[in-house]
Amino acid sequence: MPIGINIYLANKGGNMTSKDLSIFNSLRPFSIGFDDMFDQFESMLGGNGVAVQSNYPPYNIRKAGKDKYAIEVALAGFNKDDVEVEYEDNLLTVKTKQVKSTEKKDGDEIIHRGISQRSFARSFTISDDVKVGDAELKDGLLTISCEKIVPEAKKKRLIEIK
């Protein structure tokens, strides 16, 4: 089961169309308890097109085991004091605290800036049954661990016939 809408978009190359939304809407009458999920897809499309999210910073979503996932965000030039990770109401957001001013070091000046340090906010919609774990920034790569927790009510069980 995907951990969120952004994973679905990543698997489709980021191109969600109104046709995709109509498929979800056609499933609505046959599903119970998925209203929030359908509402999230509708809000993403907002109007006639897909709500576009910047492609910065680049990221990977990796399956790290049977029920484990890792979200990897490339953050070259940032340190852990420059970035914050928030999780609220099934929305995981990685964003800059504030943009650094261009710093000169000992009279040096930057001739070409190829390492971006612009402000950003990247959000991921997380499923109700996924627990967001810790985050680590190492070698310019922020890794956020997630784990799908399968509640007892959703585990396979044998129903006794009376």
pLDDT at 105: 63
Q: What's the whole-number mean pLDDT along residues 97-118?
A: 70
pTM of the model: 0.61
Tokens of 138: 């190492």
Helix (H, G, I), strand (E, B) or coil at 142: strand
Q: Is residue 80 part of a domain?
A: yes
Q: Identify the CA nearest to 116 among candidates 130, 132, 99.
A: 99
pLDDT at 7: 41
* Counted domains in the chain: 1
14: domain CATH number? 2.60.40.790
Name the more confident of 9 and 19. 19
Q: Is residue 132 part of a domain?
A: yes
